């Protein structure tokens, strides 16, 4: 909590309200502002309006720690640039958790190096924690809607029994090959192995993608050609199939759990996580 307060008090983590004071969110510059400007270039006005909309979007995002309405009771650990939390909806399996940047980012492919390193730190420690439980971690990330900047970068971690985890690459290969069979607009590879080059050196920036990682040394990335046809819950549904669980669709959504149930889940997770929580070193320093 001490580190969290320091983060919240740091100026770089505060959201400026200057743009909100000067501009209306939907209608561009206010009348009062236009009088003061005396006929500012419409292009500049549009740029400022777009920037204001993005700022307001970040304020609305429930995964930005600047948002006072964030589900703080689900947060397990906070680092300098990233944090670990349990999912808002019912977890797929016990231990299901999420790694997120503190600031509003759209994808791990485009984050700064300091954010990237912390994400890797969380992954390493989660892998060690679940290994003690004879489980292996599968990491999922779906990046879509980059132009709107609405989705907050999120890497979901799903622990699986080792025998099932060993079959995961085959399941995901099949699912990704079928994902955009008729809809692919390009002749690019549908499945790119990231085992050698990693995510950053496998695809260009600013492309929508689905990335699955089995531990830290093996994974696949799929560039999404048609976002309207691609299902954002593909990764979780593949794992549901592996575990013989009902597939999620528009009629069968994951339900929210009661607040007390969520708090108990955080408490239970934290007992196991405490021995592997690398962010404790930040408190000590």
Q: What is the mean pLDDT of the chain?
A: 80
Any idea what the Cα angle at residue 105 is, between residues 103 and 109, rounded to 5°? 135
pLDDT score at 82: 97
| Domains of the chain from N-terminus onward | 2-60 (no CATH), 72-280 (3.30.428.10)
Residue with tokens 């997120």: 100
Could you report the per-residue pLDDT of 19-61, keeping only the tens digit for each? 232 222 233 334 344 444 455 665 565 555 555 555 555 567 8
Cβ atoms of 121 and 216 closer than 8 Å:
no
pTM for this predicted structure: 0.76
pLDDT score at 43: 58
pLDDT score at 221: 94
Element (H, E) at 164: helix 162-165
pLDDT score at 139: 98
Retrieve residue 207's tokens.
């492309």
Angle between helices 113-131 and 259-273 (to 10 degrees): 80
Angle between helices 234-242 and 168-179 (to 10 degrees): 140
Could you report the per-residue pLDDT of 207-248, keeping only the tens digit for each? 999 999 999 889 999 998 888 888 889 999 999 999 998 876
Strand partners, 213: 139, 219
Rounded to an integer, the average pLDDT of 184-189 is 54
Whole-angstrom distance, CA of residue 215 vs CA of residue 213:
6
Local confidence band at 281 (pLDDT 50, 70, 90 cut-offs)? confident
Neighbours of 52 (CB within 10 A): 20
Local confidence band at 177 (pLDDT 50, 70, 90 cut-offs)? confident
Whole-angstrom distance, CA of residue 74 vs CA of residue 71:
6
């Amino acid at each position: 909590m001490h580190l969290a307060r320091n983060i919240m008090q740091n100026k770089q983590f505060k959201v400026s309200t200057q743009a909100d004071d000067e501009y209306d969110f939907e209608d561009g510059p206010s009348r009062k502002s236009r009088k003061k400007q005396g006929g500012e270039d419409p292009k500049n006005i549009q740029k400022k309006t777009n920037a204001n909309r993005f700022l307001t979007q970040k304020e609305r995002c429930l995964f930005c720690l600047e948002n006072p309405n964030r589900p703080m009771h689900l947060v397990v650990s906070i680092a300098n640039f990233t944090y670990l939390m349990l999912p808002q909806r019912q977890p797929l399996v016990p231990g299901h958790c999420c790694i997120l940047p503190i600031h509003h980012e759209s994808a791990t492919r485009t984050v700064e190096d300091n954010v990237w390193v912390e994400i890797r730190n969380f992954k390493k420690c989660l892998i060690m924690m679940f290994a003690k439980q004879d489980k292996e971690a599968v990491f999922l990330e779906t990046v879509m809607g980059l132009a709107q900047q609405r989705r907050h970068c999120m890497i979901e971690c799903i622990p699986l029994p080792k025998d099932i985890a060993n079959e995961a690459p085959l399941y995901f290969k099949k699912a990704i090959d079928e994902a955009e069979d008729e809809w692919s607009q390009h002749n690019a590879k549908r499945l790119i192995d990231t085992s050698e080059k990693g995510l950053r050196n496998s695809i260009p920036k600013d492309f929508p993608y689905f990335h699955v990682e089995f531990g830290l040394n093996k994974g696949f990335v799929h560039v999404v050609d048609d976002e309207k046809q691609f299902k954002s819950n593909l990764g979780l549904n593949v794992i549901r199939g592996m575990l013989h669980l009902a597939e999620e669709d528009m009629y069968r959504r994951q339900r929210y759990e009661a607040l007390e149930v969520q708090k108990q889940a955080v408490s239970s997770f934290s007992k196991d996580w405490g021995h592997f929580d690398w962010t404790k070193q930040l408190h000590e320093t």
